[in-house]
């Protein structure tokens, strides 16, 4: 049973020392009750109080790890219903479903090797869900072994037959796959296997009461790392079920359903485009693992981009480190351009400069992660800031000229900047990054 803020407060030291980052113990207690703070943030909680607070301190949705090392996927441990309340922490793992009757290389190869760069990050699929469609443990194991021979990424092993799962585990390589799935019919054997191997276990039931009963029984059997499958498919059904689950876990602190969720947006012959629409909904609300039936770069790229956007902290724009960057191998007669440290701005500008074939110096000012116009409007990218950045990174020492190209959107800073940087010529570049190649090749002169 969850404790109220006041009940938690009674167990805290009540010294209001502020070390937890909150002004008072009461404020900290209230946040703890809302699952928006971690008990570990207070260094002075007594052991007795820790025990009593265990229920309040435990994450409302358990953190579960699939896979190992650099490829591991961490899911769950979310604390809010809506991203703008705080942030979402663990992006859903996106997997491709492979049946052991499929051509492994033809289906899994392109998906596993697919990767795309965006704002300095490498995006791609997280792993493969291998299904024992053949019904044969040997065929299943051979398929898993083949996938493992060319990818260390996490696997979901899909079979309700414990013998088939054991055969697959023998060749899987010990990389912490997810076992899928325990049902009302087989849960005892599946829970025993999960306990014996220490692996996470998915449980499936089309009814939330049934699902809660399954998690309780699996937990009693010694399995802590559980993943929920609500059984239903389709846009409306899953929206309803997943929202209900998330609300029960966060608002009611209903422990039996406080686990990450797996979804299958393309199951049942869904058209690939519709599958991506459903998957997009699951990224936003509230899947932790999404198993796709189809893969194509054109369909998956928007999904990966959406996931990146939804799971970016809205209060912390993605930033690059301010400094003087070399694009190509610039010399002392190369152009010097300045822009802000919003990642999307940096990578757009850097990409276009690189594409122009004109080696350049790119000076990145600290605009607290804002884009050019936003930063200018907020006073974070003004003449004083740009001049300070030019001096801080000693741009002059790299150049035989004294010319600085500013973004066209802040052309109004030209005169003021020439006052701030005596001896420098301030040039107004294009407004859009896409126009930089033409500017650098045909307009800029040292």
Which residues of this chain interact with ligand SF4, rule CB under 6 A?
Answer: 12-13, 15-20, 22, 25, 28, 42, 44
Minimum distance from CB of 21 to ligand SF4 (Å)?
8
| DSSP category for residue 168 | H
Burial class of residue 398 in the structure, from the number of CB atoms within 10 Å of its CB (0-12 exposed, 13-18 middle, 19+ buried): middle
User: What are the strands of the beta sheet with 127-131, ordered from one edge?
Assistant: 226-229, 201-204, 178-182, 155-158, 127-131, 93-99, 289-292, 262-263
Residue with smaller CB distance to ligand SF4, 19 or 138: 19
Pairing of strands 127-131, 93-99: parallel
Minimum distance from CB of 38 to ligand SF4 (Å)?
11
Minimum distance from CB of 1 to ligand SF4 (Å)?
22
| DSSP category for residue 4 | P
Q: Give the start-end residues of each E strand in 211-295.
A: 226-229, 262-263, 289-292
Residue with smaller CB distance to ligand SF4, 79 or 371: 79
Residue with smaller CB distance to ligand SF4, 12 or 190: 12
Residue with smaller CB distance to ligand SF4, 5 or 124: 5
Q: Is the dihedral of CA 207, 209, 215, 217 positive or negative?
A: negative
Minimum distance from CB of 222 to ligand SF4 (Å)?
34
Query: Do you find a cis peptide bond into 251, omega within 30 degrees of 0?
Result: no
Minimum distance from CB of 13 to ligand SF4 (Å)?
4
Residue with smaller CB distance to ligand SF4, 39 or 128: 39
Residue with smaller CB distance to ligand SF4, 22 or 88: 22
- A 10 A CB-CB count for 222 gives 12
Interacting residues of 415 by C-beta distance below 8 A, sequence separation 6+: none
Residue with smaller CB distance to ligand SF4, 44 or 150: 44
Minimum distance from CB of 89 to ligand SF4 (Å)?
22
Minimum distance from CB of 278 to ligand SF4 (Å)?
43
Nearest to 42 by CA among 63, 58, 28, 56: 28
Residue with smaller CB distance to ligand SF4, 26 or 63: 26
CB burial readout 275-301, b (16+ within 10 A) else e: bbebbbbbbbebbbbbbbbbbeeeebe
Minimum distance from CB of 313 to ligand SF4 (Å)?
23
Helix, strand, or coil (residue 131):
strand
């Amino acid at each position: 049973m969850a404790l109220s803020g006041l009940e938690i407060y009674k167990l805290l030291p009540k010294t209001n020392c502020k070390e937890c980052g909150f002004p008072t113990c009461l404020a900290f207690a209230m946040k703890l009750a809302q699952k928006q703070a971690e008990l570990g943030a207070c260094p002075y909680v007594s052991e007795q109080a820790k025990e009593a607070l265990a229920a309040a301190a435990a994450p409302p949705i358990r953190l579960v790890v699939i896979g190992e090392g650099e490829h591991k996927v961490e899911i769950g441990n979310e604390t809010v219903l809506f991203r703008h309340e705080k942030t979402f922490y663990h992006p859903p793992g996106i997997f491709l479903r492979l049946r052991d009757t499929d051509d492994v290389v033809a289906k899994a190869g392109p998906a596993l090797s697919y990767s795309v760069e965006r704002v300095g990050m490498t995006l791609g699929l997280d792993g493969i869900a291998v299904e024992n469609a053949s019904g044969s443990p040997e065929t299943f194991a051979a398929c898993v072994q083949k996938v493992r021979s060319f990818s260390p990424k996490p696997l979901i092993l899909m079979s309700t037959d414990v013998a088939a799962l054991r055969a697959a585990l023998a060749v899987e390589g010990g990389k912490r796959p997810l076992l899928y799935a325990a049902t009302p019919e087989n849960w005892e054997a599946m829970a025993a296997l999960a306990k014996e191997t220490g692996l996470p276990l998915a449980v499936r039931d089309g009814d939330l009461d049934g699902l809660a009963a399954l998690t309780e029984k699996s937990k009693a059997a010694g399995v802590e790392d559980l993943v929920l499958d609500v059984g239903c498919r389709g846009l409306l059904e899953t929206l309803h079920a997943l929202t209900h689950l998330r609300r029960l876990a966060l608002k009611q602190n209903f422990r039996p359903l406080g686990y990450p969720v797996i979804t299958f947006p393309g199951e049942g012959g869904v058209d690939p485009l519709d599958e991506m629409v459903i998957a997009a909904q699951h990224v936003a609300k509230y899947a932790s693992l999404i198993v796709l039936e189809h893969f194509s770069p054109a369909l998956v790229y928007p999904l990966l981009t959406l996931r990146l956007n939804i799971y970016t902290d809205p209060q912390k724009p993605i930033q690059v480190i301010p400094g003087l960057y070399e694009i190509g191998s610039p010399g002392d007669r190369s152009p010097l351009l300045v822009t802000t440290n919003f990642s999307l701005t940096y990578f757009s500008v850097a990409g276009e400069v690189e594409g122009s074939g004109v080696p350049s110096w790119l000076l990145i000012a600290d605009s607290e992660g804002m884009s050019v116009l936003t930063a200018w409007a907020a006073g974070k990218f003004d003449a004083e800031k740009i001049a300070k950045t030019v001096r801080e990174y000693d741009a002059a020492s790299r150049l035989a000229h004294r010319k600085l190209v500013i973004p066209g959107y802040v052309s109004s800073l030209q005169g003021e900047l020439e006052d701030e940087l005596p001896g420098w010529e301030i040039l107004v570049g294009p407004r859009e990054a896409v126009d930089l190649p033409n500017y650098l090749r045909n307009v800029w002169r040292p």
